[in-house]
């Protein structure tokens, strides 16, 4: 008479191999996978938006006839523009001068001598 003992090692090895095949995804691996998918989606969206932006740039380069100003024969348009620009520049300069004067007066009221800047050697 023969007695055989079943240790169950064969069943355990089959169970382990099945678990390796299934191998559930960890939280970290799922996070990394989602991040990769988002990057791919952004790249594809960027490529498609580049194609659309090329069309937009072509459209921007060719303005409608309605908005094109006709050149003046007398040349008054350029002088008006120059006058507006010089007015804006003079306003900025006056504003800066006013700020400097205001600081000077504040320093005088507080008896603070104006700071002298040191010249650096080059």
- Examine the domain organization and report whether 105 and 82 are in the same domain: yes
Structurally, the chain folds into a number of domains equal to: 2
Give a yes or no: residue 50 inside a domain.
Answer: yes
The answer to whether residue 10 is domain-embedded is no
- Per-residue pLDDT band for 109 (boundaries 50, 70, 90) equals confident
Question: Is the same domain home to 61 and 83?
Answer: no
* pLDDT tens-digit series, residues 24-58: 778 998 899 999 999 999 999 888 876 665 555 55
Verify that 31 and 61 share a domain, yes or no. Answer: yes
Does residue 98 lie within any of the structural domains? yes
Question: Residue 118: inside a domain, yes or no?
Answer: no
Tell whether 36 and 59 lie within a shared domain: yes
Question: Within a domain: residue 84?
Answer: yes
Unique residue bearing structure tokens 């678990």: 19
User: CA-CA distances (angstroms) from residue 53 to 13, 15, 48, 60?
Assistant: 59, 56, 9, 10
Nearest to 106 by CA among 96, 95, 114: 114
Span of 23-32, 61-70, 82-91, 98-107 with lowest mean pLDDT: 61-70
pTM: 0.28
Name the one residue in this structure whose structure tokens are 């989602």: 34
Position 1 in a domain: no
- 30 found inside a domain: yes
> Which range is most confident: 12-16, 17-21, 33-37, 44-48?
33-37
Does residue 28 form part of some domain?
yes
**CA pair distance 28, 49, nearest whole angstrom:** 31
- Tell me the residue range of the domain where 34 lies: 24-66
Q: For the chain, what is the mean pLDDT?
A: 76
CA 117 to each of CA 19, 73, 120: distance values in angstroms, whole numbers, following the listed order: 76, 52, 9
pLDDT of residue 83: 78
């Amino acid at each position: 008479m023969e007695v055989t003992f079943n240790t169950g090692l064969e069943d355990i090895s089959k169970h382990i191999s099945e678990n390796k095949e299934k191998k559930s995804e960890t939280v970290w691996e799922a996070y990394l996978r989602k991040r990769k998918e988002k990057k791919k989606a952004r790249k594809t969206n960027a490529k498609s938006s580049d194609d659309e932006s090329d069309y937009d740039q072509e459209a921007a380069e060719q303005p409608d006839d309605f908005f094109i100003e006709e050149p003046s024969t007398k040349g008054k348009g350029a002088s008006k523009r120059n006058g507006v620009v010089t007015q804006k520049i003079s306003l900025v300069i006056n504003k800066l001068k006013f700020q400097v004067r205001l600081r000077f007066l504040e320093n005088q009221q507080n008896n603070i001598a104006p700071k002298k800047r040191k010249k650096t050697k080059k």
